[in-house]
Amino acid sequence: MKTIPLSHFFPWGKISDDFIVNILSEFSDNGAENVVLETSWGKRLVQEPGFYTTLLGWLRESGMKIFECHGLWGTAWDLNITDRPRRSAMIEDHKLCMAYASDLGCRSYVMHIGAYDCYYKNTTLEEMRALAVDSLEKLIPAAEALGIVIALENSFEPFNTPDEVLYFLDYFNTPVLGCCFDAGHANVMAKTPGKDPAKYASYMNLCWKSGVVQEPDAFGKLAPHIVTCHLHDNSGYADEHHLPGTGTVDWKKLIPALKQCPRIRSMQNETNVMSQRVSIAKLCRTFEELMKP
């Protein structure tokens, strides 16, 4: 079974720059080698001239590397945003962020299709697909030139289900487009025996208009296209980003299956260490055990 590099998320935007080298060094001291270029750093690279040099200095001091990138996301950057005056700037932001990610050695660029209209508007699925297609038509050539694969992330709202990820993969049919398999999101959507829809978090019923459609086999559908993945756990009813082993994901089954995916390049820990109050030492120990053959 092949060895897949692991990268760690951390909410860098929630701590002072003065402590970033300390946190990076904690990862290094606990055996980690790679961190994810996550969105708060992506925003700074795009919006703060000179931040790239600062980031390189932090990495040099700590001995850590950036291996993968979670691209810009949210109401200003998702592929299907309906803020039309913003869309051209959104495309340029992604192109610049991808360029920095490539220079830092990233091999994939994770993107959200987008879901906000599921909560707040009555935009149709067809309209949202058309917007995402328009965005990808402009971004795929840029990613190809940089040697990066755009990895679409499966989530739990109607506009970014596994079937929607597959729609875009089939539409473009290019090696420049792949999937970021989010294990936690798949677990929320999973159709498992005894699952009680009444226990879903309130936002699930809001975005699905109280008619949540569960997914019996997200991994099976997406496995041929998975280039990277987000690893975190939950109860099956909310997107909690818990430490693996503290929820209902079957890790003994999932990790070996992920390692067999034909296109997989990396794995990414996406545990929310702050909300779960997980130490970096415990985080690294947990994932070291999880990654064992």
Give 276's pLDDT tier (boundaries 50, 70, 90).
confident
> Which run of H or E residues covers position 219?
helix 218-222
pLDDT of 1 above 60: no
User: According to the model, what pLDDT value does residue 162 have?
Assistant: 98
pLDDT of 198 above 60: yes
DSSP state of 156: S
What is d(CA 161, CA 56) in angstroms, rounded to the nearest whole number?
Answer: 36
User: According to the model, what pLDDT value does residue 210 have?
Assistant: 85
SS3 state at 124: coil
pLDDT tens digits, one per residue of 200-247:
999 999 999 988 999 999 999 999 999 999 999 999 999 999 999 999
User: According to the model, what pLDDT value does residue 123 have?
Assistant: 93
6-290 CATH fold: TIM Barrel (3.20.20)
Task: Read off the pTM.
Answer: 0.97
Cα–chain-centroid distance for residue 224?
18
Taking residues 48-70, report their average pLDDT.
97
> Does 79 or 1 have the greater pLDDT score?
79
Nearest CA to 161 among 134, 195, 185, 177? 185
Q: Which residues touch 26 (CB under 8 Å, ≥6 apart)?
A: 280, 281
Q: Which residues touch 29 (CB under 8 Å, ≥6 apart)?
A: none
What is d(CA 19, CA 42) in angstroms, rounded to the nearest whole number?
Answer: 18
Sequence spans of domains, the chain: 6-290
